[in-house]
Structure 1
C-alpha cells in the first residue's frame, strides 16, 4: 500500500502546475466607454476577477491597466501579451514584455507603447492577456476578448476628441517667455495662457494663480525689477480680460534674482526673461454656522 501511495505522489509531482484562467463568456462580453474632458476609459469587465481598462488622460496617450476585486495577484512576475484568439489557429502570441504587478485596486499600468500595441492587436482580433507566474510554478491568465471591440473603439475615439490639450499635472506649472526683451505677450505666450484658461474653466476647483515675474541682468537692478513686475502684470491683465478675478491671482516679481541659466549669452538671457505660472486648488474658507436666536423675552412689569 505504501509503495502504491508513493507511486501516486510521483505521478502528481510530474504533472505541470495548473493554470487558472479568468475570462468572460463570449455571450456576456461587453465594452464600456465613459469619460469627460479630463479622461477617457474603455473597459471590459472580467467575470470573477475585475476588469481590464484602457485609460487616456488629457495631454497623454493611453495606458492599459488591470483592476481586481481581491486587490492582488500575489507574489510573482507578470507578462503582457497580445494573444492570438482561440479561433485563429496558427497565429502566435505577441509578447509585449514584463509588467510590474502590485497590490491594491489597480494591479499595474502598462506603458503607452504597450497600450498602443494592444489596441492594434484588438483590431486584428487578438486578446490582451496577462500571464502571472506564482512561486509554486503555476500561473494565472487574465484575458480580454476582442468581441464587439470595433464599435466600442470608435466611441472611445470620439471621447478622446473632446479631451483638453493638457492635464492638471502638465498645466499646473507653466512658463511664458519674453524672448524679445519687452513686456508684450507674443503669440506663443498667449497660446500657453489660453490652454491654462481652458483648463480653469473646465475645472472650477483650480481657482488660484500665482505669477512670478523675472528678468535677465541687462539693466540695473531697479530697471530689471520693474521689467519683471510689468511682465507679470501683462499676464495678470490677460487672465483678467478672460474672466479670472483679480482676487484669484497672486503676483510677485523678482528682477534678475532667480535666473534659469547664467546670463552669459543672448540665448540664456532670453530664457531668463519669463513669468512662471503656478495653478493651485485653494479650498474656500468655511462659513461660520449661524448662531441660533430664540424669541426675545419682554420685560415683565407689574
Structure 2
C-alpha cells in the first residue's frame, strides 16, 4: 500500500504547471456515510474545495455530485473520468462523458449511469476525476481517492438496504383503479395504498390525504356521481382501517366530469373508473370529520 501512495504522489507531482488540482492528502483521505430511510450519502471531503458525494434517494439509483465551498469551477462543462491508478500500468482512464457545471454550491449532479461506473471504478482502485478547461487554457482538476473505499461502501450499502421503497415524489400521487366496475378495492389498489401508508408512517410531516372519486359515463349523471362517491369512501375506509385519522382526509367525488381518456371504448371507460389519491403536508385540521364534496359543490360533511 505504501508503494501505491508513493506512486500517487509521483503522478500528482508530475502534473503540468498549468493544471490546478484539488485533492485531499492521502493520509487525510476519508469516506463518510450518512443517511436515513429517505436518503443515503457516501462523501469524501476535498481539501480547500468542497466534497464529492454519492447520493441515493429512496426509490432511485445513486447519482454523484460535486459541491464547492466557493465557485471555483463555474460555467461550461467538465469531463468526468474514472482515472486509472498509477500502480496499475497499462490501464487508461475511462471517460464517462461531460457534465454541465452550475454556479451554486452543487456544481453538478451526474447521471445514474455515470455514478454506477464511478463506484465500480473506485472498487477497482480508480479515482473519480473532474477536469475543467477554461477558455484561457487553464486546466483545473478535482480528484477523489479510492483509499478505504471498500469498507465505507459496505457501510453505505447497509444504509441503502434500509431505504424506503419509494421517495415522496414517487409515492405522493396514485390512481386507484376499478377496471371491472363496482366499488371493491383489488390487490393492486391495496398495494398502492400500502405504499402511501408506509411513507406516512416513516415521515410524520406527510399528514394529509386528498381523495377524488371518478366514474365513466356509463350511467346517468346522478348514478355516476354516487359511484364516484362510494369508490372514494372505499379508499377512505381502507386508509382509516390502517391507522389514518378522519381529520387527515379530504374527500371529493366528481362523477364523470374529469375523464382521463375519452369514454369511447371499454378500455378507456375502465381507465376513468378510478380514485385519485394525493399525499400532502398540511397543518393539522381542526375539524375531526372528513370534508366531503360533490363535483363543483361546497364542502360538506358526510
Shorter-chain TM-score bucket reads: 0.7 to 0.9
Retained in 1: the 8 A contact 2:248–2:284? no
Greater displacement, 67-76 / 248-257:
67-76
The corresponding residue for 2:45 is: 45
Retained in 1: the 8 A contact 2:75–2:103? no
The corresponding residue for 2:246 is: 246
The corresponding residue for 2:60 is: 60
Distance change >3 Å, CA 187–CA 128, structure 1 → 2: same
Instruction: Give me the whole-angstrom Cα distance separating, in 2, the residues matched to 1:32 and 1:173.
Output: 34
The corresponding residue for 1:290 is: none
Q: Which runs of 5+ in 1 are unaligned?
A: 1-15, 287-302
Instruction: Give me the whole-angstrom Cα distance separating, in 2, the residues matched to 1:190 and 1:145.
Output: 47
Shift of the alpha carbon at 1:142? Answer: 0.4
Matches within 5 A, 1:1-302: 18-284=18-284
Instruction: Give me the whole-angstrom Cα distance separating, in 2, the residues matched to 1:245 and 1:259.
Output: 29
Shift of the alpha carbon at 1:72? Answer: 4.2
Deviations 1:257-296 (A, max 9, x none): 111001111111111111111111113589xxxxxxxxxx
Instruction: Give me the whole-angstrom Cα distance separating, in 2, the residues matched to 1:22 and 1:207.
Output: 45
Instruction: Give me the whole-angstrom Cα distance separating, in 1, the residues matched to 2:29 and 2:124.
Output: 17
Instruction: Give me the whole-angstrom Cα distance separating, in 2, the residues matched to 1:213 and 1:224.
Output: 10
Instruction: Give me the whole-angstrom Cα distance separating, in 1, the residues matched to 2:77 and 2:99.
Output: 8
Retained in 1: the 8 A contact 2:248–2:285? no
Retained in 2: the 8 A contact 1:71–1:106? no
The corresponding residue for 2:300 is: none
Instruction: Give me the whole-angstrom Cα distance separating, in 2, the residues matched to 1:265 and 1:74.
Output: 54
Retained in 1: the 8 A contact 2:183–2:230? yes
Retained in 2: the 8 A contact 1:17–1:137? no
Shift of the alpha carbon at 1:104? Answer: 1.3
Retained in 2: the 8 A contact 1:74–1:134? no
Shift of the alpha carbon at 1:248? Answer: 0.7
Retained in 2: the 8 A contact 1:72–1:107? no
The TM-score, its normalising length taken from structure 2, stands at 0.87
Shift of the alpha carbon at 1:29? Answer: 1.2
Retained in 2: the 8 A contact 1:66–1:106? yes
Retained in 2: the 8 A contact 1:75–1:135? no
Q: Which runs of 5+ in 2 are unaligned?
A: 1-15, 287-302
Aligned residues: 271
Shift of the alpha carbon at 1:71? Answer: 3.4
Instruction: Give me the whole-angstrom Cα distance separating, in 2, the residues matched to 1:192 and 1:210.
Output: 15
Coordinate RMSD, CA, aligned: 1.4
Retained in 1: the 8 A contact 2:211–2:249? yes
Instruction: Give me the whole-angstrom Cα distance separating, in 2, the residues matched to 1:187 and 1:75.
Output: 50
Instruction: Give me the whole-angstrom Cα distance separating, in 2, the residues matched to 1:52 and 1:168.
Output: 25
Retained in 1: the 8 A contact 2:212–2:276? yes
Deviations 1:210-263 (A, max 9, x none): 000001111111111111101100110111111111011000001111110011
Q: Find the residue that maps to 2:188 and give its secondary structure.
A: helix
